[in-house]
Structure 1
């Protein structure tokens, strides 16, 4: 048999064994470097040291072209790598820019696995919309039908079934199972490193010099009046800008509102602040300073107060601030700032629930009920004492709200006055406890202790004004002793509020910079006294119409002479009370004329103009359009500057 004859190759013949792979060397790229001319003549191509042309081409005087394929491969590879490297750097720069604009972590924080488990670029962008660059605000709401619901998952580890926390919040269990980002609570993130470079001051919406002036003004006035500076813990503008653009915008807006002749600056800062707050509505990552920025706006911007306070509370609860007190009492001292902010939010929430006659959002949880324990901590500051004094007072007023409700047509029964006396005693004890604790301040002098007295009169007025709720002179011919006593306490407390603002130097000097709750209660007191003087004569209550008129007139003078911006609430209060005083003068003149006429015709005395009122002037139910939670609550329109010229006596 011929062993040399060709045989049919099998399919396996084309496959090399592992042993063959080990013995067979890798193919080598030829290192031949002969030029084209020498190859054509099939002769040896020789190069001299340091020359790029071979000897034959040199003798012939022709161009020496080297056909070195290995060198060409190396050159081409180098060109490709250079181009690829440039493209990669461009992509990294573009991604980093998008991450900064979207408020996402830096590119270096992402691992290779995030590309598989993380959200899509579109979903991440819409979940973290730009909140700083004003060039984006005009187009941030034009996505239309292209926006899709975010159902991306978190790249977090699987749930440990041996976790000892057996009873978490139900939504937490759903999040642990699904890992859906939109089920995750809002969380605290470190501020972006580029906040300062991207904010509205860097974009020259306001000059740095003017921003520094506004910050300094806020720091030494409003920030000191609001519990000794605990709402703004930053000492300079740069620190605030690096921490939260929302907070810096709020501070500058409020300062511009209080300084005369800053209307243009106020408009710019206000528009920026509103834009930032609107953009953060659906953002999931916030800082404590972002919450402070909402609170600053709530305390001083009347037209936004209710919305901002509610938004701040919602974000704070999603960030777990309501649990900070418990952690603090377990020894976690890093929770102090968070617990302090929770108390501040409680007061902010109750300021406006009282002012608007609406139920508060924050209830009396373990932190609120045990505020004395918080004051026993070593790290508290004098501002904490002033803050907790407000917490303790609003606990009493909130309990009264729950007891007596907010139905403006529901009059108190005679049995209710026993419980009302209990609340009055509680407010008396509150003053005795907290006034000595509130020490004087180098910035606002005796305002801390005098402020306790002012809020004491506010509270007594609010509680006892309930005695007139749902009543009118036409359907209440006789007052019981308890009702009359309580109504007279309301009158005397309202007058004490106004007298204290007018007579106490440190209160009077602070009337511009105080939060709008104080302006609300001062206005509430003036309106209450004017309307009671019109509707209830001296046969019922201890009130002197001329004394009330003079007191309100002095309040108007004070509001007109204070140094403040043109849009400050004091300006609107002065105009509104002025119009009411004109109506009051008209009523007084008509009452005197009718009273004297009736007396001359009948030969009898007219007690307090009761007959004139019975004949239809003014209408018996004149005051009941403004009845609120505590009897004669301030209508929310008065908190809106757009209603400055609204005539409350004709509603």
Structure 2
């Protein structure tokens, strides 16, 4: 037949064929030499197209042409009407594509194995995983493949990350269901079923393997890790409400529960122990890396939330970010609803409700103190904390924790009443409301000090800590009486303003005296959360500023007494046993600089008084600022930035760039 390929003269096994003519151009292959064996199955190799078959004529092809002569003359498409041949062609195409895909996958796997330091692909037996491929290496290769895939997608799809809009196969919306008024976002998901519109409840937290954490990778020895864990357990963990932040009794347990929590514990411990700077660098780097990697994930545990809180309470440069992140994750996990479930008889919700109270305090430590609105509001759980204390499973640490909750409820209400605008002075009408908050704080102390029992670890710190927070709250509230005021523009104080300002001064001095004189407070000053360091720092700076800017004719303050008190605080911060980068070191250095400037002001004041200068000419009088005293960082308007406006860079500008990894 014209156009027949030379290979068409043989069967698939190479047997020569002889051809017999048939109508419509079909040919029937026959073996040329018969043998005793049965003939192979016949496979039709006819190439007659549909048009030739319809006209019942021979279908002839010219060499190199894909269309027969008939179709070429007619100018129509030549379609071979042979299903067996189409099957063979399609099968060949599929096999070619599958072979190319397998080669591509083998190349990709070989590349990943080289990147992970694993044996070559040729060493793998079918279905085997070599012992040298550890779980950590497998995890690394998995993450690497994901990163490579994302990089390829970004490169080929355009700049940025491509949003993967996927749908879930689930039941259709139940129009007769009991949940008539769900959250609006739940209704949107129910209609669209888009995964990235909601928190996927099917996703479970990844089980942490000991082989994957930074201890197993050799970044820190097991001996040192055990030492750091023991130090945190008996000191910082006991100071923070009797150990409710870390419920694990040994390092292995916390490592299995949460890599983030174990890393946070070791980082904070290394910060507090002298001569552990190198260990601190490695732990801190690992902790920051873990926090960054979990920013967009949704699989979390209660211990992960605790790991964020541990960092917030003791790592000053991360506190604000970590506390907010912890609250957001907790609400995704439904911790804000645990109290209601607990009151309905679900006792397994106790730990979750307890953690929600802890988050409330953590959030308010690093919002109200910075002059920022808190994230957690006074919901039913916060308002009914006394009901929580009636449950039989509470521990002494719960009482200490809820004492903080009760105090910050008062301070938060005051914050909402007076705001944080540093240019907004209190009016005379505001002092009536301020007196109500003072009474509330007085009642808070009377209620919670006797309820806070002593501890075998920290002795009388629980009850003495209530007194310390009492003085600081009174100081924080009443310091607002001097906000946005200047000695040059406020020559006369009203009785209410003078009373409130003097309460602020006496409360600030009481804060410092408690830290210096009470043995259990003084011994704990290193391990306490940074909010207590904030109290001490705020009180000292406030007293220095008021002593310079407001003379004794207005307020009851003795400049030399203030100076001596702050000097003693500096001595305490310098002599405590702590790491080189602990916050106490920065406090001592910053207060030392302020004392130097205070001495410059005092010397200039004495020179002016000796020369017979008038009150308006003596630094510290009504025109002190016009004379250039005190230096710019101690001018009057900086008093107004406190009250509810404490900034994290209060003492030392270098704190703004406090990076453990920089050295």
For normalisation by structure 2, the TM-score amounts to 0.74
| Distance change >3 Å, CA 321–CA 561, structure 1 → 2 | same
1:174-573 aligned at under 5 Å gives the runs 174-185=188-199, 191-573=205-587
Aligned with residue 635 of structure 2, among 613, 622, 625: 622
Q: Find the partner of 2:646 among 616, 622, 634.
A: 634
Q: Deviations over 1:372-419 (max 9, x none)?
A: 111111111110000000000000000000001111011100110000
Is the counterpart of residue 581 in structure 1 residue 581 in structure 2? Answer: no
For the 8 Å contact 1:638–1:644, the answer to whether it is kept is no
Q: Deviations over 1:432-487 (max 9, x none)?
A: 00000000001111000000000001100000000000101010000000000000
Distance 1:180 1:426, change over 3 A: same
Q: Does 1:643 align with 2:655?
A: yes
Relative to structure 1, is the Cα distance of residues 456 and 194 closer, same or farther in structure 2, using a 3 angstrom cutoff? closer
Give the Cα–Cα distance (whole angstroms) in 2 for the partners of residues 474 and 254 of structure 1. Answer: 46
State how far apart, in whole Å, the 1-side matches of 2:586 and 2:310 are. Answer: 20
Cα distance in 1 between the residues matched to 2:619 and 2:563: 16
SS at structure 1 position matched to 2:611: helix
Asked whether the equivalents of residues 548 and 620 of structure 2 are also in contact (C-alpha less than 8 Å), the reply is no
Does the 8 Å contact 1:225/1:513 carry over to 2? yes
Q: Give unpaired runs (5+ residues) of structure 2.
A: 1-37, 39-101, 117-137, 659-663
Structure-2 change in CA distance of 1:645 and 1:315 (3 Å): closer
Partners of 1:217 and 1:255 within 8 A in 2: yes
Indicate yes or no: 2:627 matched with 1:613: no
Shift of the alpha carbon at 1:192?
3.3
- Shift of residue 356 of structure 1? 1.1
3-state SS, counterpart of residue 437 of structure 1: coil
Aligned to 1:82: none
Instruction: Name the CA distance, whole Å, in 2 between partners of 1:163 and 1:455.
Output: 50
Contact 1:461–1:494 (CA<8 Å) still a contact in 2?
Answer: yes
**Could you tell me how far apart the structure 2 residues matched to 1:568 and 1:481 are?**
42
TM-score norm. by structure 1 comes to 0.75
Q: Structure 1 residue 352: deviation in Å? A: 0.6
Instruction: Tell me if structure 1 keeps the 8 A contact 2:537–2:587.
Output: yes
For residues 137 and 413 of structure 1, what CA distance do their matches in structure 2 show?
Answer: 60
Answer whether contact 2:488 2:622 (CA < 8 A) is retained. Answer: no
Residues 297-350 of structure 1 show CA distances to partners (whole Å, capped at 9, x for unaligned) of 000000000000001111111111111111111111111111111110000000
Counterpart of 2:167 (choices 153, 157, 162) is 153
The answer on whether the counterparts of 2:619 and 2:629 sit within 8 Å (CA) in structure 1 is: no
Contact 1:134 1:200 in 2 (8 A): no
Distance in 1 separating the partners of 2:592 and 2:175: 69
Deviation at residue 626 of structure 1 after TM alignment: 5.7
Instruction: Give the whole-Å Cα distance in 2 for the aligned partners of 1:288 and 1:514.
Output: 23
Deviation at 1:165, TM superposition (A): 0.9
C-alpha contact 2:605 2:618 (8 A) present in aligned 1: no
The answer to whether the Cα contact below 8 Å between 1:201 and 1:207 also exists between their aligned partners in 2 is yes
Residues 606-651 of structure 1: per-residue CA shift (max 9 Å, x gap): 99852672652326981324633626x33221387833899xxxxx
- Higher mean C-alpha deviation, range 204-213 or range 541-550: 204-213
Name the CA shift for 1:187/1:279 in 2 (closer, same or farther; >3 Å). Answer: farther
